[in-house]
Amino acid sequence: MIDPTTIHDLPIQRPQRADARRNYEKLLAVARDVFAEDGTSATLDDIARRAHVGPATLYRHFPTRQHLLEAVYLEEVVAISRSAEDLADLPPWEALVQWLHEFVRYAATKRALANEMLTSIDRDAEVFQACRAALTAAGGALIERAQEAGVVRPDANFMDVARLLGGIAAIQGVEPDEVERLLDIVLDGLRYQPGG
């Protein structure tokens, strides 16, 4: 069992040889784009063709569709988690606001991918546990830093905020500016109000 307390513990296993690593990364990038454009029902053969590799290369790296879905999902979690670390130089409130805006965009685009994965595994699968822990560690650190600076309510935690943002991300058929407006309302509620 992995210890999913940091993004560095997520179970991503990249090939060691340079050419194999390039093919692996190319397949992941193409799969991410294809899933975003065509949905998660896109064929693996189409992904291999667009990545300019043979199907055997794809199946060598990702023996099943589930393996590819999990790898794309993990890559996205690593990216959003690392982006929290990249905001360390910003003031606490600005860092939190910027990351939460990124998190809502991430959550909106990854819902279909997670739903497709849930057809083969359950919500308590190791991949989901590790991803939840990594996101909680990243978002929790930003919230705690903002609380220590006195700019976020002391009774808030990342799971509270993630549930609110998950609800916003799940809204179908709204324009991006409406999503941003709803997020700003949540952020107003999260901000510390002296004497409130």
Per-residue pLDDT of the chain (196 residues; tens, 9 = 90+): 223 344 445 555 666 688 888 999 999 999 988 888 887 888 899 999 999 999 999 999 999 888 898 899 888 899 999 999 999 999 999 999 999 999 988 887 777 788 788 888 888 888 888 888 999 999 999 999 999 999 999 999 999 999 999 889 888 888 888 988 999 999 999 998 776 5
Long-range contacts of 157-162 (CB under 8 A, 24+ apart): 161/100, 161/186, 161/190, 162/103, 162/135, 162/136
Give residue limits of the domains in the chain: 13-63, 65-196
Angstrom distance (rounded) from CA 127 to CA 116: 14
User: Phi and psi dihedrals of 137, rounded to 5?
Assistant: -65, -45
Q: Burial, 192: exposed, middle or buried (Cβ in 10 Å; 0-12, 13-18, 19+)?
A: middle
Q: Give the count of beta carbons closer than 10 Å to the beta carbon of residue 156.
A: 18
Task: Give the model's pLDDT for residue 166.
Answer: 87
Cβ 27 vs Cβ 35: under 8 Å: no
Cβ 153 vs Cβ 28: under 8 Å: no
User: Helix (H, G, I), strand (E, B), or coil: what is residue 152?
Assistant: strand
Q: Which residue matches tokens 């739903």?
A: 115
Tokens of 122: 């359950």
Tokens of 43: 């064929």
Task: Give the model's pLDDT for residue 196.
Answer: 55
- Superfamily classification of domain 65-196: Tetracycline Repressor, domain 2 (1.10.357.10)
Cβ 87 vs Cβ 142: under 8 Å: yes
Q: Which fold has domain 13-63?
A: Arc Repressor Mutant, subunit A (1.10.10)
